[in-house]
Every structure is written in C-alpha cells, then in structure tokens.
Structure 1
Amino acid sequence: MLLKKTLPALILGSALTATATQAEVKVGVVTSSTGPIALVGIPQKNTVPLLPTTAGGETISYISLDDSSDPSATVKAFKKLIEDEKVDAIIGPSGSPNAMGVIQFAAESGTPMLAPVGTAAVVLPMTEDKKWVFKTTQNDELIAKALVGHMVDSGVKTLGMIGTADPYGENWSLVMAKLCAEAGIKLTAVERFQRQDTSITGQSLKVMMSSPDAVLIAAPGSSSVMPETTLKEQGYAGQIYQTHGAALDPFLKLGGQAVEGTILAASLMLVLDEVPDSPAKEIASKYVADYTAMHGETPATFGGNVYDAGLLLQNAIPTALESGKPGTPEFRSALRDALENTSEMAGTQGVYNMTPEDHSGFDERGRELIQVENNSWTLLK
C-alpha cells in the first residue's frame, strides 16, 4: 500500500520537475578564458557564478563555454548553444572579431546576443542582423569624445595613432578621423598591428617620425601595453592616450613605469572610491565586493560588462514572459523587444537607455576621464 501511494507522488514530482525545467530560461555564455585575449575573458568567465538566477518567477541557468580566443571556435560554441542547448539568449563572446563572426547566427536563429566587446561595429550601423545584438560596453564615439575633449583643452594639435588591425582598431580609426577633423586636430600617422605581434618597432618609429603632440593607442586587453612601452623605449615624450580597452589592472602591472601618466576614458569601476554616489556606483561596488570575495582579486571592467548583461536579461525577462514561454521563438523575440526598450537601468558601467537605433544605450554617465598615477587609476579632475 505504501508503494502504491508513493509511486504516484514520485511521478507527480517528476512531472513538476520536468515542467519547471522546460520553463527554465537558458542563457549561453561564450568567453575567451584561454588564448591571446584571456585577460579579457577570464574575469568574464569568473563573473558567471554571480549572475542573476531568477527573474519573473522563473529560474535562469547558464551554460558557459570557452572559445580559446579563436573566432572559428566561437562559431562552433554559438551553434552548439543555439542548436543543441536551445538557449534563449547568449552573452558573449569576449573578442570583437569573434563577435562580428557570429552576429548572423544570432539573427538567423532569433536569439538575442549581449556582446561585452569593445567595437561599436557589432551594433553600428544598425542592420536587420544587428537588431539582435546588444552591446554592454560604451560605444567608441562616447569614449572618444571625452578623449578628444581633453586633447583640445590641453592644446593638442597633432595626433598619431596605433591600433589593432581588426574591427576594434578599424572602428576607432574611423571615429577618430571624424572627431579630430571636427576639433581641428591633424592625424599625422595611423599605424596598425596584429594582437599576436611580438614587436611593433616599425609602426612606432613611423608614428614618432610624424612628430605628433600626442599618441592614441586603440587596442584591447594586453595588446594595449606593447605600443606604449615601445614608444617610451624609443624616447617619445608626448602625452599617450588609451581607449577603454586598456581598462584592466594587468595593464598597470605589465606596463609598469612606462604607462605612468596615461590618460583614458572608461567606466567608474576603475575609480569607485573617487566618484560621487549613484545607482551605478552602488551596483558596481556590490559586484566588485562579491567578485573579490569569490575569487580573491578585484575584477577588470570586462567582467562588469558580463555582469551588466545578466542584469539586462533579468530586467527584460518578466516582460518577455508575457508573450511566450522560455525555449520558444515567441519568448526570444519578446526578449529582444524588451531589451531594446530598456530604460534608465543602472549597471556597473553606467546607465542603460536602449532604443531601436542605439543598442549600447550609454550616455556621459558611462564614462570617466582617468589617469595613471603612481601605478594606480586616478580620476582626472
């Protein structure tokens, strides 16, 4: 008799579990936690355990994959998440070239993609494919305007530039050409290099021969260090600017004395103790504290980009649930629409206001001018 009573209960419990599993929101995460851009990918992978686990009364689960910084591996990871795991959204990948190569798969499958990458090319210019992509880093132009503004105020008339030969460096070249022309700053030389290069002596010499008042380096992660150290070794004494791609502590460790005085624009995460209280500061402070407690070190801003992706999804999921169940095309489409209508949502990087034209959504609250002083990040006042 006990068995007869227990068996239906077990069957009912299994059915309830299966229903709950089917309703679960599944999110794929692709990071480059190994390979050339691991300095970017490691804090992103380490952030996954800190992402929200519930939204709208539903559980959120995460499937995390490493693409080894290889764009072809990124494609395989995306296809696995979309075709085999049937995920409702994907956070990642870490690299700009990797992200550009998978936009079509997100669009073809109707799967929202939250890209924590540097280049604005993943969302601009907006296209039918890119409407499925949302970017959790500041667009290049927002950062560039802060840098160019400082150059103008400092009397910079000529500028040299060294950038990566990929979508990140290419988009920065386009943005700077436009803004410098408007500001009356002459670009004297624009040089490119590959992230895996072990020497850029030739490029730096060409820039120095053009005698610029200042130099901008447009490179993400560890690749941002070598151009600056090379310029210093060759005797360049002008002001060096970096993009938000250099906003990680290993930049300070790898560059040492050579990067002293560097100016960049990046999120408030680098200078939390120096910025006024705000909703973004509160969220960033909690993220930094939780990450440090879990991993024994403070996170790079790149980790915050993944954390914000989780917050954006948590914010959008309740609205999407009104149109469909997780695992369905209707839910994914509604999730995309809800993300596009994000309004005044604070994250670790600033405040998000998405529109059909702007899938990054940051304003001036998403950047601070920062300088390296005594091998530390300091708010530039």
Structure 2
Amino acid sequence: MNTPRPLVRLMLAALTLSGSAAQADITIGVSLPLTGAASSLGIPMANQIKLFPEQIGGEKLKIVIADDATDPAKGAQNAKRFTEEGADLVVGSVVTPIAAAMAQHLNEAQVPQYALGPFANLPGKDGWSFRMVHAPELMAQAVMAHLRKSGVKTLGFLGYADAYGEGWLTEMNKLLAQPGAPTLVAVERFARTDSSVAAQALKLASTTPDAILVVASGGGAALPQRALAERAYKGRIYQTHAAASRDFLRLAGKDAEGAYVVAAPGIVPEQLPAGHVSKPLAQDFVKGYEGAYGAGTRAIYSASVYDVQLVLQMVIPKALKLGKPGTPAFRTALRDLTEQLGPQPVANGVLNFSKDNHWAYGPASPVMLRVAGGDWKVD
C-alpha cells in the first residue's frame, strides 16, 4: 500500500486551532504525553502523526499536537480547548486515565475521539469515543491461552496502581475463575512514577509462582523486569502489549531475555506468514516509520496511530459528502461512519468497530512474542 507521507503542518500547542486555516480545513486535536512518566509512549505516536498526509478526501488536515504531560487534568484541559476551538476530531491520549478523562468532555461536546488508551466503558459518557488500541479483555485472553498451553499452574501479578493495571487485573480475574486456570497466588502494585519495585518483586518471588504477569508500559515495564531478575526469580515473566517497545528492550537489557510479551502484528511483519491479513499494512507502516526515524524504531503505539490514519482515509471522504468540516453534521458523520466500518485489516490486526462495539481490534489481532537475543521473536 502506497500511503502518502509528506509531513503534516504541526502547530505549537500554545497556538489556537482557528488561526489562519481555511474554513474547509479538517481540524484534528491530538493530546499525547510528550513529557512525564509516559513520554516513551507519546513521543513515538507523535512521530507517526508527523507522517500523516497533508490532505484526505481533497481537504487539508490541520493537526495540533498538545502535551498532556502524563496528567489527566492536563489531558482534560486539552480536550476542552480543542472543542472550544472547533476541532472535528480528537486523538488521544495513550495513558488510560487521561483518555477516560478526555472522553467524558468529548462526549458532552459531541466530538469524536480516537482514544489511544484502553479505558473501560463509561456508560452514557463515551458514545463518541473509539479505542484505537487492543482491549485488555482481548489481550488477557491471549495471555491466558499461552499460560494454559505452557502448563502454568500458579501466577503472580505486578501492575500499575491505576486504571490500566486494575483493568488488566479485572480481566485476568475473570479468566482465572474458569475451571483449570492457574491460581493467582499474589498481587502487588506500583505507581508509574516509582523508581523502585524491589519490595514488591521480593514478595512475589518469595511465593515462587510458575509465572508473573507484569502490567506496565514502555520503559516503565523494564523496572519490574529487572527487579524480578535481581531477586533470582526463575519462572516465566509475561508483559502486556504496552511493553512492546524498544525502550523496554533497551532498559531491561539482558534481564528481558526469555520474557513473553503479548503484542500485535504491526511490530513483527517480517515474521508473519505470507497469508496474514495485516502483513502488507504492517510492512507499509514499518517501511514508512523506520524510513523516517531509523531501523529498529518501530513501536506498537506508532502502529496504532498508523491505523488511525487508515481509518481516517476510509471515513473522511464519505463524511465530506454529509457535512462540511467544522460543522456538527461532519462530526456526526465521522462518528457514524466509524461505527459502520465493520471488519477491516490494518497494521495492528483487524478492526471490529460497530455501533455496539467501540473497541478497535478483534480476536485475530494478538501475537505472542518472546525476547530472544535482544529482539522480538514470534512464539
């Protein structure tokens, strides 16, 4: 697939969206953590935004990237500012609590949100939000299938003490309650800003579970990985898809060897079988991203943003026939057309949007990886 890749005109967050843009410009506000604890997630996503085409459907894109600084209050402020200044669509944030905080305001303002963080459903408050990431439920099922296949009988849990960590724990507990599932022997939590998890790692290692599931993101996932290795834990370590980044491999180093990471096709297109529906799109993503930023820079987060671009290229031309940018009719058309997409292959799997399902990816999307030789290997 030959996707046009000229740099989109980005404006500093301090500038208004209205500015001097032509009335017909399609305005997209993007809120990402460019600083703070989750910046290792936000920066690769912003890099992919810079590869968006200048136009879709014959109309110019005007994209403003704002830093939410890994702070839900700041993300909510960004969402409010975007809507006050006429955004047609808002993308972000990748941090789960921030994405949820943004969703409530965007729902009230009736502005579509392509969220990049897997926040739980907010009944009556998220009808305009679409999660462009893999649901914890979906990825937890892939982890559980691998645990069962591997004969794991006991499991420990070490996760963020926030919505992302608790969401995963909730989904794992549902699966662990099924007959024949492993037994959860210990649960420990830590904050994204913690500089040490030594105490939690020691407690978990002392229970000697067959495997430990770590729920953290980017470079932050390396902290518990190293801590468990330092406590000579010999069992299996599983990481979630939020750890599928080069920052994790770099910061965890040799301690990452043998770790399992549930991920998505977008970061390993070379290892996918020829008939895999996401292979050509994943290859296109990697070619474009690494062509701009260097070999080995691909990330699952960037691939999700590439998929945002693919969705926009599907829905914007149709939405332009139903309303002009800057109008409620156009925003409503974007929402309705996104709901009507149905199954669509993209770089990170197969989209599965419908009116009753605002989660992007379906069951064909997860890929289990293992760290071997400092790189990802499909298991």
TM (norm. structure 2) is 0.90
Percent of residue pairs bearing the same amino acid type? 37
How many residues in Structure 1 have an aligned counterpart in Structure 2? Answer: 358
Q: 1:251 aligns with which of 248, 259, 267?
A: 248
Question: The residue matched to 2:157 in structure 1 has which SS?
Answer: strand
Query: C-alpha distance in 1, partners of 2:20/2:270?
Result: 46
- On the 8 A contact 1:47/1:303 being kept in 2, the answer is yes
TM (norm. structure 1) is 0.90
Query: C-alpha distance in 2, partners of 1:44/1:19?
Result: 26
Structure 1 residue 72 and structure 2 residue 69: aligned?
no
Query: Residue 41 of structure 2 corresponds to which residue in structure 1?
Result: 40
Structure 1 residue ranges without an equivalent (≥5): 1-17
By how many angstroms is 1:272 displaced?
1.5
Structure 1 residue 344 and structure 2 residue 359: aligned?
no
Q: 1:222 aligns with which of 214, 219, 223?
A: 219
Query: Residue 183 of structure 2 corresponds to which residue in structure 1?
Result: 186
Q: 2:283 aligns with which of 274, 282, 285?
A: 285
Spell out the pairing of 1:50-65 with structure 2 (5 A cutoff).
Answer: 50-65=51-66
Spell out the pairing of 1:302-317 with structure 2 (5 A cutoff).
Answer: 302-317=301-316
Question: The residue matched to 1:150 in structure 2 has which SS?
Answer: helix
By how many angstroms is 1:279 displaced?
4.5
Question: The residue matched to 2:158 in structure 1 has which SS?
Answer: strand
Query: Residue 144 of structure 1 corresponds to which residue in structure 2?
Result: 140
- On the 8 A contact 2:48/2:306 being kept in 1, the answer is yes
Aligned residue type for 1:361: A
Question: The residue matched to 2:348 in structure 1 has which SS?
Answer: coil
Query: Residue 202 of structure 1 corresponds to which residue in structure 2?
Result: 199
In our comparison, the structure showing a higher alpha carbon Rg is 1
- On the 8 A contact 2:21/2:62 being kept in 1, the answer is no
By how many angstroms is 1:56 displaced?
2.9
After superposition, give the CA deviation of every residue in 1:221-240 in whole Å (9 maximum; x if it has no partner).
22211111111101110011
Query: C-alpha distance in 2, partners of 1:369/1:109?
Result: 39
Spell out the pairing of 1:1-381 with structure 2 (5 A cutoff).
Answer: 21-84=22-85, 86-117=86-117, 119-121=118-120, 124=121, 127-182=123-178, 183-277=180-274, 278-297=276-295, 298-380=297-379
- On the 8 A contact 1:44/1:302 being kept in 2, the answer is yes
Query: Residue 9 of structure 2 corresponds to which residue in structure 1?
Result: none
By how many angstroms is 1:334 displaced?
1.5
Question: The residue matched to 1:23 in structure 2 has which SS?
Answer: coil
Question: The residue matched to 1:162 in structure 2 has which SS?
Answer: strand
By how many angstroms is 1:19 displaced?
12
- Let me know the Cα RMSD of the aligned residues: 1.8
Question: The residue matched to 2:74 in structure 1 has which SS?
Answer: helix
Structure 2 residue ranges without an equivalent (≥5): 1-18
More helix per residue: 1
By how many angstroms is 1:133 displaced?
0.8
By how many angstroms is 1:356 displaced?
2.1
By how many angstroms is 1:184 displaced?
2.4
